[in-house]
Amino acid sequence: MQAVQTPEMPCQFARYAAVGLVATAVHYALLVGLVESGGAAPLPATLAGYVAGGLVSYALNRRLTFTGGRPHREAAWRFALVATSGFAWTGLLMALLVGGLGAPYLPAQAATTLAVLAWGYLANRLWTFAGPLG
């Protein structure tokens, strides 16, 4: 599988991380808003935040980070699959950290975010947005 061609992988990761910060801000704002308003428990709130952040992430990564790769009609479903996997990892890790270990929800979410960030970058770079073989 051919990776997306970029001048330097560290620059691409920096753009990915910057997009991730924006998407994470959306995620956390929704998470905190839903939990602190008393309207939701941490687990469903973090998953709602993950979906909102994921929509922001796709739009910005397609435009700013992984340009010149797969066409939208191919990249969108691949991104959705990677995001769904990340969604599952987020739910599993939050359930383990908050429900199983009793960790406070915000530090647990920070650890979960870092783990899913690293995995998501690699999956998106090497599969979602990589140019077609040939």
Give the pLDDT confidence of 85-100 residue by residue, as tens digits.
Answer: 988 988 999 999 999 9
Structural domain range at position 20: 9-128
- Note the pLDDT of residue 134: 45
In this structure, is residue 72 part of a structural domain? Answer: yes
The pTM of this model reads: 0.69
Nearest to 44 by CA among 34, 36, 53: 34
Question: Which residue blocks in 37-71 are alpha helix, DSSP H?
Answer: 42-60
In this structure, is residue 102 part of a structural domain? Answer: yes
In this structure, is residue 98 part of a structural domain? Answer: yes
Q: What is the DSSP string of 100-115?
A: IT---HHHHHHHHHHH
In this structure, is residue 3 part of a structural domain? Answer: no
Distance CA 48, CA 29 (A): 11
Distance CA 27, CA 53 (A): 5
More confident residue, 116 or 1: 116
In this structure, is residue 113 part of a structural domain? Answer: yes
Instruction: Tokens for 122, please give them.
Output: 């690699």
In this structure, is residue 134 part of a structural domain? Answer: no
- Structurally, how many domains does the chain consist of? 1
In this structure, is residue 66 part of a structural domain? Answer: yes
pLDDT 10s digits, 97-130: 999 999 999 999 999 988 988 888 999 999 999 8
